[in-house]
Amino acid sequence: MSAAFRLPLDVFYEREARHPRQRFLVQPTGGGQVETLSWADVGHQARCAAHWLRARELPQGSHIALISKNCAHWIIADLAIWMAGHVSVPLYPNLTADSVAQVLSHSESVLAFIGKLDDWPSMSQGVPADLPTISLPLHPPGAFDFNWTDLQRSSPIQDDPRPPAEQLATIIYTSGTTGLPKGVMHSFGNFGFAASRGTRLFGLNENDRLLSYLPLCHVAERMFVELASIYTGQTVFFAESLDTFITDLQRARPTALFGVPRIWTKFQMGVYSKIPAKRLDWLLGLPFIGQRVGHKVLAGLGLDALRVALSGAAAVPQTLLDWYQKLGLDVLEVYGLTESCGYSHICLPGQYRQGWIGRPCPDVEVRIDASGEVQIRSQAIMLGYFKEQQKTAETITEDGFLRTGDKGEQDGEGRLRLTGRLKEIFKTSKGKYVAPAPIENRLAVHSRIEQVCVVGEGLSAPLGLCVLSTVNHEEARASLHSSLEKLLEEVNAVLDKHEQLRRLVVVKDSWAVENGFLTPTLKLKRNVIEATYGARFEEWSERSEAVLWQD
């Protein structure tokens, strides 16, 4: 039996009482200005909103949607929903109208908070006309039934609601690489277990600073920013926009940062746009000077104060990890699922082994079943999928282990290495099975390949489709062709014969969330990629060139 843990609202009330005037949330408001909210400010606003919600006399445990990009009032609204005895249902801020309608309907949401959004006119088409809306302080133009000022006219609740561990806190809809998203139900106990143990791993405290920029509706940012700040007292800075991102980073100078691999790659690309890769690598290799150059590069990015740098959601190319180490920064990998509060495996300082993620987090049990699937069990595992008993039964074993859908293996010290997704493995026309993920990781070491997808269902040999980071397609073709040929040769040399790629194809499209190629958490939608280019797979396979450029 694992040790006890404290629940999120209990911890929040304690911090609110212990250091009410301490800085908690820092929100950019435009034009270089920021609004700073203390723990007392956050508590007061959440309590006023909770009073207003109670006055609606909704049934206890009603579901309330939260549609907004990251901002201070995302967290305040979440706290208010909990204090009022209800369940928060966050939506990704870049969903299509159809997806908005699907989630609001499936979740049975009775109210919706609307905050900072880029394309509300489009998204709003998915909001039912009879669903009351409440605008947060940062909100898009439009008509809303209520606004945040209306809620703040209510007097703050005087009690400290303390929902029990087993009570439902939130429904997190997965981004879904295929099919409709599923509603993952998490209790206050799930959150408390994962947050209390996760924050201890790095010794985070009230002097630490976070930058919130990945979607708060995703479990990773929810745990690493919202819950972690409550449990440790860290200050949370918010990013204003993509255009101001480096300025936001430099303002926050975070001491802890969670990113997906594509973000860490973007930082590297930004550096290489200012100084050629060969020259920087030469400078970093110089005695004494290299260390100063590395620190200067990190300072330019706003990353010079980082002591905890984490990457998750997908594998990180080894060459990228090595590059950050040259700068003086250890980027450590973490592994977890929405269904486990993102709490499963982590690489800690001094325990790194190349190619392996890390050991299980405290109080997490792990096993590899006969099919090679990684299965985990802990008190962070979801209650189940909302209104999906059959899918819940298929995902959680009778003895309480979560089927992750990932294939993997463990070393003698319990470190985990993922070897692919059970459902992503495809069969070539020769009847051989191929796992694309490990091959994609090998291709991703190329500094100009931003995204890559290996396909091959029914083909005689796999193809590698890639998106380059350069904007100028013609310039890229001239300068990169030979290096891509060399990459293909090097990768094929270490693959089994049936895994070897017939060729690389550089596609013209960018793969983004907006055009449907990526999920909101920046994972590839393989079915979309295959549907887009599938008609040309046979033609590309029959060509003689090692590297093709889509015409």
What is the per-residue pLDDT across 343-364, written as a single tens digit (0 to 9) for each? 999 988 878 888 888 999 999 9
pLDDT digits (tens, 9 = 90+) for 458-467: 888 899 999 9
Establish if 123 belongs to a structural domain. Answer: yes
Classify 534 as helix, strand or coil.
Answer: helix
Structure confidence at residue 382 as a pLDDT band (50, 70, 90)? very high
Where are the strands (E) in 329-485, listed by range? 331-335, 345-346, 359-360, 365-368, 373-377, 384-385, 402-410, 416-421, 426-427, 433-434, 449-455, 463-468
Establish if 261 belongs to a structural domain. Answer: no
Distance CA 548, CA 169 (A): 50
Establish if 41 belongs to a structural domain. Answer: yes
State how far the alpha carbon of 202 is from the alpha carbons of 80, 310, 332, 393, in Å.
29, 11, 12, 35
Mean pLDDT check: name the lowest of 85-89, 263-267, 329-333: 263-267
Distance CA 544, CA 460 (A): 14
Whether 64 has a pLDDT exceeding 90, the answer reads yes
Whether 177 has a pLDDT exceeding 70, the answer reads no
Establish if 2 belongs to a structural domain. Answer: no
The pLDDT of residue 256 is 94
Establish if 333 belongs to a structural domain. Answer: no
3-state secondary structure labels for all residues of 445-510: CCCCEEEEEEECCCCCCCEEEEEECCCCHHHHHHHHHHHHHHHHHHHHHCCCHHHCCCEEEECCCC
Please return the burial class of 110, using the count of CB atoms within 10 Å of its CB with bins 0-12, 13-18 and 19+.
middle
Q: How many CB atoms lie within 10 A of CB 268?
A: 21
Last residue of a domain, one of 217, 235, 253: 235
pLDDT digits (tens, 9 = 90+) for 67-111: 999 999 999 999 999 999 999 999 999 888 888 999 999 999 999
Establish if 265 belongs to a structural domain. Answer: no
Give Cβ neighbours of residue 255 (< 8 Å, ≥ 6 apart). Answer: 207, 208, 209, 305, 306, 307, 308
Structure-token match 């891509």, residue found = 484
Structure confidence at residue 2 as a pLDDT band (50, 70, 90)? low
Domain span at residue 544? 426-549
Query: CATH number, domain at 54?
Result: 3.40.50.980
Structure-token match 């020259």, residue found = 279
Whether 277 has a pLDDT exceeding 90, the answer reads no
> Quick one: CA torsion of 524, 496, 534, 315, rounded to 10 degrees?
0
Please return the burial class of 305, using the count of CB atoms within 10 Å of its CB with bins 0-12, 13-18 and 19+.
middle
> Quick one: CA torsion of 467, 473, 478, 481, rounded to 10 degrees?
10
Looking at residue 145, the DSSP 8-state letter turns out to be S
The pLDDT of residue 400 is 95
Structure confidence at residue 1 as a pLDDT band (50, 70, 90)? very low
Last residue of a domain, one of 200, 235, 270: 235
Last residue of a domain, one of 210, 235, 260: 235
Establish if 271 belongs to a structural domain. Answer: no
Question: Structurally, how many domains does the chain consist of?
Answer: 2
The pLDDT of residue 350 is 79
Question: How much is the mean pLDDT over the chain?
Answer: 90
Establish if 249 belongs to a structural domain. Answer: no
pLDDT digits (tens, 9 = 90+) for 498-551: 889 999 999 988 898 888 888 777 778 888 898 899 889 988 998 888 899 988
Query: CATH number, domain at 482?
Result: 3.30.300.30
Residue 429 or 360, more confident: 360
Distance CA 29, CA 26 (A): 10
CB 102 within 8 A of CB 40: no
Whether 9 has a pLDDT exceeding 70, the answer reads yes
Distance CA 37, CA 41 (A): 6
Please return the burial class of 417, using the count of CB atoms within 10 Å of its CB with bins 0-12, 13-18 and 19+.
middle
pLDDT digits (tens, 9 = 90+) for 21-50: 999 999 999 888 999 999 999 999 999 999
Mean predicted confidence (pLDDT) in 144-166: 96
CB 523 within 8 A of CB 177: yes
Distance CA 176, CA 520 (A): 9
pTM of the model: 0.83
Give Cβ neighbours of residue 94 (< 8 Å, ≥ 6 apart). Answer: 118, 119, 513, 514, 520
The pLDDT of residue 458 is 82
Please return the burial class of 389, using the count of CB atoms within 10 Å of its CB with bins 0-12, 13-18 and 19+.
exposed
Whether 255 has a pLDDT exceeding 50, the answer reads yes
Whether 202 has a pLDDT exceeding 90, the answer reads no
